[in-house]
Structure 1
């Protein structure tokens, strides 16, 4: 997954919204005119995505269209079990410098692993900022690709997820992670 800095890409002129089917429900994807991923929400949270895009990009024109083939293929491969499928997607977010730092730190959590909010805060050099890290994590506009689902409670339990805890549970199980609130088969 390749985040682009603001110096690497000009501000978008247009957002294109499309849908892609996943095993956990339709995802609504926003890309700019250069096919840089700007948002990914699940369908029932489309209004939340619209609000997020209005906050981030103000009055930028929005059109509907197909999800670009490279993004669709990468998502299909990820949901098919390829843990590295999303790593080469170009994405960019608008947000505060702190939010961007948290979102970039999420990219360092490998497929099939989790991290607690406290550990993530410590990695950012702000061990007392656990709640702020949690809020930034929850504001992530590119779920699945920027893997906010890999952040769990200190005891390994599932905590909030913008796409619903059932999706977080599914994503972690898909990646081979057994969380504290899931029954063990042993």
Structure 2
């Protein structure tokens, strides 16, 4: 960009990081972490394009280790997967979530700690909508910040594991990491 050009929107930094559950796409704005996505393809240069379009952002992918907006999210995710972080303390950019979904996700992030689970129906009741268990499931499926906003901690009221955008095996791995389920034998 030359000195006469101005960024067309908010600054967006993105990268792909390795994790115990596979590569994660991470994106942050100056407001905070805005997106976490499972099963990212690290060599795709267009990974951020849908996010750039949606936010009207000026995006860049820094070289590994030279992240600015993503340095702290990467540090905390690394500590989480190492078992030394139990609560994320990150600014979050909530603009990819709205209405009921945002209400549910914020409640989840603030009230369901590491190593515990909550049922879809119970979470619905916590936000004042006791009959909205299915809508809570939809909110979990729309979560733009999985792992950090721990939708893996939401399970079926009858004790079943429930679905998960990253796949049921990923959900099992996260719950095992947190001690809710036993570690897989292999």
Using the size of structure 2 for normalisation, the TM-score is 0.79
Determine whether 1:142 maps to 2:139: no
- 2:87–2:113 CA contact under 8 A, matched in 1: no
Q: How does 1:111-130 map to 2 (within 5 A)?
A: 111-130=114-133
| Secondary structure of the corresponding residue to residue 152 of structure 2 | helix
CA distance in 1, matches of 2:49, 2:142: 12
Which of 47, 50, 53 is equivalent to 2:51?
A: 53
> Do structure 1's residue 102 and structure 2's residue 134 form an aligned pair?
no
Partner of 1:177: 180
* Higher RCO (C-alpha 8 Å, min separation 6): 1
Contiguous gaps of at least 5 residues in structure 2: 1-8
Give the alignment partner of residue 168 of structure 2, picking from 165, 171, 174. 165
Question: How does the TM-score come out when normalised to structure 1?
Answer: 0.79
Contact 2:14 2:48 in 1 (8 A): no
Matched residue pairs, number? 166
d(CA) in 2 for partners of 1:56, 1:109: 30
CA distance in structure 1 between the partners assigned to 2:79 and 2:11 by the alignment: 27
Partner Cα separation in structure 2 for residue 53 and residue 30 of structure 1 = 9
Residue deviations 1:133-160 (CA, integer Å, cap 9, x gap): 1101110000100000000011221111
